[in-house]
Amino acid sequence: MLTKSEEEIMNLLWEVGEPLASSEIVSKSVNRTWRKSYINLLINSLLNKQMIEVVGVKQMTKNYARTFQPTMSKYAYSVKRIFSQKGFKEENIPDLFAEIIANTENPQILEKMQSQLDERKRELASDKNNRDSYSA
């Protein structure tokens, strides 16, 4: 997955919510644990891991610089991390979901979760029906 330094950069990009050039990442990373001279190495590593993508160029003083944004949300990354843990299986999802529910105090959030769960069930049923009609 990601190193501590890479996670710091990703957290900044998620927090800011807009594409940033490498020099902007350095200047906005006030509590960074990495040296600013490592920024290109870290950017290339995040590109190779497909965590960020180049989305444009921006004029920075006299030069132009590429701008980067995350390829996934912080929540999608969190789920990816959980699913990639050694020993985690799809059968563990109900236990994980139960922990999330047990730690949720807001009834409106629970309603939204129920709605999303119902929607996903409908999608899966629709996909199954579409597959069945093609194989018939």
Q: What is the pLDDT along the chain (136 residues), one digit of tens a residue?
A: 899 999 999 999 999 999 999 999 999 998 899 998 999 999 999 999 999 999 999 998 889 999 999 999 999 999 999 999 989 998 999 999 999 999 999 999 999 999 999 999 999 988 877 777 666 5
Range of the domain at 53: 4-70
Q: Which amino acid is at 119?
A: E
Instruction: Check whether residue 8 and residue 60 sit in a common domain.
Output: yes
**16 membership: H or E segment, kind and range:** helix 4-16
Domain presence at residue 77: no
Rounded to two decimals, the pTM is: 0.80
Instruction: Check whether residue 61 and residue 99 sit in a common domain.
Output: no
Instruction: Check whether residue 60 and residue 101 sit in a common domain.
Output: no
CB atoms inside a 10 Å sphere around CB 133: 8
**34 membership: H or E segment, kind and range:** none
What is the pLDDT at residue 128?
77
User: Structural domain tally of the chain?
Assistant: 2
